[in-house]
Structure 1
Amino acid sequence: MTNENPASRFAAMLEVRARKLGEWRERRVAAGSEVFQPQAENVPVFILTAGLVKLYYPVANGEEWTKSYIADHGVFGPTSIEAPIMQFGARAIEDCCLGTMRLTWLAGQLGEDAALVGALGQFQAWLFERKRQREEDLLCRAAEERYLAFVEGETALTARLEQQEIAAYLRVTPVALSRIRRRLKQQGRLSAGASSP
């Protein structure tokens, strides 16, 4: 587990405990289907064990803002018992295998297990840094720079996403992304393999 990111490590610890204690509930979600919708209540904690999930926020004009993607192994869902309504939604981009557990069960486990609390702390710090970087990218980087950073930092994810998904994540139109990719390729700043998801 030494090469895993803190999200995968925390998810793995939760999965082991939930399975051992009979809390784990298996769920499969087909590509394109909602895992849960924004404003859903009583959503369990999800652990993705295979597939690709998009977390997104709805906006007033009916569009979506991509929050993040979770690929192959990670944890998502509610973060507080006091805030039971989800502000964001989750959609399967690929067929997904998930496990669920109750948030109240997780809270009880955190009260009993210092190692789990430590893993949660590492996960939260990792998540905070990813959110900080995403905010900085959207506010301070040009679209070309955001795309290059995404391709370099998320190589495996780039290959799995369609152009419209990448464009939405970067907050540009698919046409603008196509132009950015063409321009970067002409400038020699983007390899042929990196330019085609």
Structure 2
Amino acid sequence: MSVTTAREVLRGLAGSALPGWDAVAPLLRAKTLRKGEYLFHVGEARPSIFIVTRGLVKMVYETSEGGAWVKAFAGEGTCFASLVALAPGGVTSFSTQAVVESRVEQLDYGEVRRLASRHLEWQRAVSRAFEVYGLRKEKREMELLTLSAEERYQRFLDEHPDLAPLLSQRDIASYIRVTPVALSRIRSRLRRRRAS
């Protein structure tokens, strides 16, 4: 089985080799997560960039009433961070949990910033990572604000056919921002339409 590496992901973002990698490699911290295990919880100081090298994790916002909504999923080859936690004194605004057994590599953001201040290639990697994040976030906001729940579900299935079989219906419902009961109704409606 091929495992993606943080080096491959960051090099892909930069579009070229990254100078100083030999000094960075020992700073990477890898963690293997069992299904359901948390990488971090909301409110933790985690000024790091995380790269999923195997598996799938979900990022979850928790409500004051004890509920939770899935913000995003990150599969193999995806990097993510809690942007709030990257600021001096910042803490994570969401929790991250493994959907399946996963491996995640962590790199201190201060080290990445230091490298970006000295090397154009690292600047490109950081810039591209923020660009990808911004595009993903804008698309997600547009879907939540302009599409019906049924349209969001159909788009999720169309764009993420590889994820759907790995996820519980509760996680899918949470991601498209409906209750599990509402998702069940949507699925029934779609099945009836396909059958007729």
What is the TM-score with the length of structure 2 in the denominator?
0.83
Which position in structure 2 is the counterpart of 1:73? 77
The alignment yields a C-alpha RMSD, in angstroms, of 2.7
Match for residue 52 of structure 1 among 50, 56, 60: 56
Opposite residue 32 of structure 1, the aligned amino acid is G
Q: 1:88-107 maps to which residues of 2 (within 5 A)?
A: 88-107=94-113
Hey, what does 2:173 align to over in structure 1? Answer: 167
Alpha-carbon deviation of 1:119?
Answer: 2.6
Q: Deviations over 1:20-65 (max 9, x none)?
A: 5421122111110110000001453221100111111111111112
The Cα offsets for residues 142-174 of structure 1, whole Å up to 9 and x where unpaired, read as 111111111111111122211111001011111
Give 1:185 shift: 2.0
In structure 2, do the counterparts of structure 1 residues 65 and 121 end up closer, same or farther at CA, with 3 Å as the change threshold? same
CA distance in 1, matches of 2:109, 2:146: 36
Structure 1 residues 86 and 23, CA, compared in 2 at 3 Å: closer, same or farther? same
Residue in structure 2 matched with residue 24 of structure 1 by the alignment: 28
CA distance in structure 1 between the partners assigned to 2:155 and 2:167 by the alignment: 15
Counterparts in 2 of 1:142 and 1:135: CA distance versus 1, 3 Å: same
| Alignment partners' CA distance in 2, 1:18 and 1:93 | 32
Contact 1:13–1:116 under 8 Å retained in 2: no
1:176 is the counterpart of 2:182 = yes
TM superposition score normalised by structure 1: 0.82
Tell me, which stretches of 5 or more residues in structure 1 are unaligned? 190-197
3-state SS in 2 of match to 1:176: helix
Tell me if 1:111 matches 2:117. Answer: yes
Deviation at 1:129, TM superposition (A): 1.7
Any idea what SS the aligned residue of 2:65 has? coil
Is the Cα contact below 8 Å between 1:32 and 1:91 reproduced in 2?
A: yes
Return the alpha-carbon distance in structure 1 between the equivalents of residues 25 and 51 of structure 2.
16
Deviation at 1:68, TM superposition (A): 0.4
Q: 1:36–1:43: 8 Å Cα contact kept in structure 2?
A: no
Decide whether aligned partners of structure 1 residues 19 and 89 sit closer, same or farther in structure 2, where only a CA change above 3 A counts: farther
What amino acid is the match of 2:48? P
In 1, Cα distance between equivalents of 2:11 and 2:149: 27
> Is 1:138 the counterpart of 2:144 in the alignment?
yes
Q: Distance in 2 between matches of 1:148 and 1:86?
A: 31
Give the share of equivalent positions with the same residue, in percent: 28
Q: Is the 8 A contact 2:28 2:107 kept in 1?
A: yes
Matches within 5 A, 1:29-48: 29-48=33-52
Cα gap change, 1:180/1:18 in structure 2, threshold over 3 Å: closer, same or farther? farther
Q: What SS does structure 2 have at the residue aligned with 1:108?
A: helix
